[in-house]
Amino acid sequence: MFNTEYETNMTDLSANRHQHIIEAAVSTLAEHGIVEFTFNKVAQRADISAALIVHYFGSKEALLEAAFRSVARQLNTSATSRLKLAAGPRARVEALVDAHLGHNDYTEETARVWLSFWGQALHVPQLARVQRAHQQRMLSNLKFDLRKLVDAKDVAPMADTIAAMIDGVWLRAAMIGGSALQNGLARDLIFDFIARHLKGAPPSPADTSFDTINPATGAVLATIRIDGQAEVNNAVARAAEAQKLWAKTPGVERGRILHRAAALLVERNEVLARLEAQDTGKPIQETIAVDVLSGADCIEYYAGLARTIAGEHHDLGTGAFGYSRREPLGVVAGIGAWNYPIQIACWKSAPALACGNAMIFKPAELTPLTAIELEKAYRDAGLPDGLFQVVQGKADTGRLLSLHPDIAKVSLTGEVGTGKKVMVDAAGTLKYVTFELGGKSALIVFEDADLDEAVSGALLANFYSAGEVCTNGTRVFVHKSIRDAFLAKLKVRTEAMVIGDPLDPATQMGALISPAHMEKVLGYIALGQQQGATLLTGGRRVTAGNLANGAFVQPTIFTGCTDDMAIVREEIFGPVMAVLDFEDEAEVVARANNTSFGLAAGIFTNNLTRAHRVIAALEAGTCWINTYNITPIEMPFGGNKQSGLGRENGRAAIEHYTQLKSVYVAMEKIDAPY
Taking the C-alpha atoms of residue 580 and residue 267, their distance in angstroms, rounded to an integer, is 45
Q: Which amino acid is at 87?
A: A
8 Å CB contact between 645 and 432: no
HSE-up of residue 389 (Cα within 13 Å, Cβ side): 26
**Residue 321, φ and ψ in degrees, nearest 5:** -145, 165
Name 484's Cβ contacts closer than 8 Å, sequence gap at least 6. none
SS3 state of residue 521? helix
Active site residue 346: no
Taking the C-alpha atoms of residue 624 and residue 444, their distance in angstroms, rounded to an integer, is 10
Residue in 442, 303, 411 with CA at minimum distance from that of residue 646: 411
Name 382's Cβ contacts closer than 8 Å, sequence gap at least 6. 257, 260
**Residue 665, φ and ψ in degrees, nearest 5:** -115, 115
Pairing of strands 313-315, 220-225: unpaired
* DSSP annotation of 207: -
On the 0-12 / 13-18 / 19+ scale of CB atoms within 10 A, 241 is: middle
Reported in sequence order, the residue ranges of 250-408 that DSSP labels E, i.e. its strands, are 313-315, 320-328, 331-335, 358-362, 388-390
Taking the C-alpha atoms of residue 655 and residue 233, their distance in angstroms, rounded to an integer, is 27
Q: Which amino acid is at 559?
A: T
Name 219's Cβ contacts closer than 8 Å, sequence gap at least 6. 213
Q: Which amino acid is at 551?
A: A
HSE-up of residue 120 (Cα within 13 Å, Cβ side): 24
Catalytic residue among 41, 282, 348, 362: 348
**Total residue length of the chain:** 674
SS3 state of residue 60? helix
Per the DSSP assignment, residues forming a β-bridge with 443 are 476, 602
Catalytic residue among 94, 375, 571, 648: 648
8 Å CB contact between 421 and 437: no
Active site residue 440: no
Name 291's Cβ contacts closer than 8 Å, sequence gap at least 6. 273, 276, 282, 340, 341, 342, 343
Q: Which amino acid is at 44?
A: Q
Active site residue 362: no
Q: Which amino acid is at 608?
A: L
Our CA dihedral for 528, 529, 534, 538, rounded to 10 degrees, sits at 80
Catalytic residue among 436, 519, 570, 571: 436
Catalytic residue among 298, 346, 355, 470: 470
Q: Known catalytic residues?
A: 348, 436, 470, 648
